Amino acid sequence: MILVHGNRLIAHQVFQLFDLRSFNKPDVDMTPLIESAEALTTRVAGEVPPMVDKLYPESYLASLFKNLTKCKAIDQTLIESRSGAEEDSQLEFGV
């Protein structure tokens, strides 16, 4: 159920892993993005549930993901948990 209620947070996390600056170019090849989106979504979808269980084990999911403060805390904790591996995670397209 975390994937259902947390879909926007998961999408936000996936897009944070991409270097979106290259999307300003009209001739950018979208193939790498399309090919990587599924793998990154699977990765992030695997990271979110343990973090929710760690930070808010007693929260109801429907209300948890409507709470901006809690979503920001989950988001920030996920980002911090990836620090150090950030260069490996971020993808560049056409730069």
Question: Could you read off the pLDDT of 20-39 as tens digits, one per residue?
Answer: 776 777 787 888 777 788 88
Looking at residue 5, its pLDDT comes to: 95
- Asked if 15 and 44 count as a contact pair (C-beta separation under 8 A), the reply is no
Query: How many CA atoms lie within 13 Å of 91's alpha carbon, on the beta-carbon side?
Result: 17
- Extract the tokens encoding 86: 């950030």
Average pLDDT for 46-68:
95
Predicted TM-score (pTM) of the model is: 0.77
Residues 6+ apart with CB under 8 A from 48: 2, 3, 6, 9, 10, 13, 74, 78
Looking at residue 18, its pLDDT comes to: 77
Q: How much is the mean pLDDT over the chain?
A: 84
- The β-bridge partners of 58 are none
Can you tell me the distance from the alpha carbon of 23 to that of 92, in angstroms, rounded to the nearest whole number? 10
